[in-house]
Amino acid sequence: MLEILENITKRPFNLHGNETLERFKGIIHLEELAEVIKDTSLCGLGQSAPNPVLSTIRWFRDEYEEHVFDRYCRANVCQDLRTFKINVEKCIGCTVCAKKCPTDAIIGARKKPHFIIEDKCIACGNCFDICKFDAIEIS
């Protein structure tokens, strides 16, 4: 169950249609696993362990689906799913973020607004931490 949960909180790179479906199947599998664990555990601890997962799926299923299909965490808790953008109104083109980006996802000329190439961004947060002009925004 932990593996399935961790999987949907990760940003899947180069994911194709079928693989998204596999991730969604993970949620269904999670529910089945939870029921089996509840039914077959010998003690109360095991019987109640899956309850948080079952109740969050029951009440927040749309958020699970957002994680799978939109790769979006509305609570902004899943670090891998954060989206970083540069506010061009605030960016002065100092180039510091581009130098600190581990994947060369930030482009732009000196003293001109910079941009993040979303496909290359691994959501490490370096640019957000280093920008002194609050020009990096997270959504």
Nearer to ligand SF4, 46 or 125 (CB): 125
- CA nearest to 57, candidates 27, 79, 22, 29: 27
Q: Does 56 bind ligand SF4 (CB under 6 A)?
A: no
**Burial of residue 63 (number of CB atoms within 10 Å: 0-12, 13-18, 19+):** middle
Q: Give, as ranges, the residues between 70 and 89 that touch ligand SF4 (CB under 6 A).
A: 84, 86
Q: Which of 47, 121, 137, 139 binds ligand SF4 (CB under 6 A)?
A: 121
135 binds ligand SF4 (CB under 6 A): yes
Burial class from Cβ neighbours inside 10 Å (0-12, 13-18, 19+) for residue 81 reads buried
Measured from the CB atom, the residue of 49 and 92 that comes closer to ligand SF4 is 92
37 forms part of the interface with ligand SF4 (CB under 6 A)? no
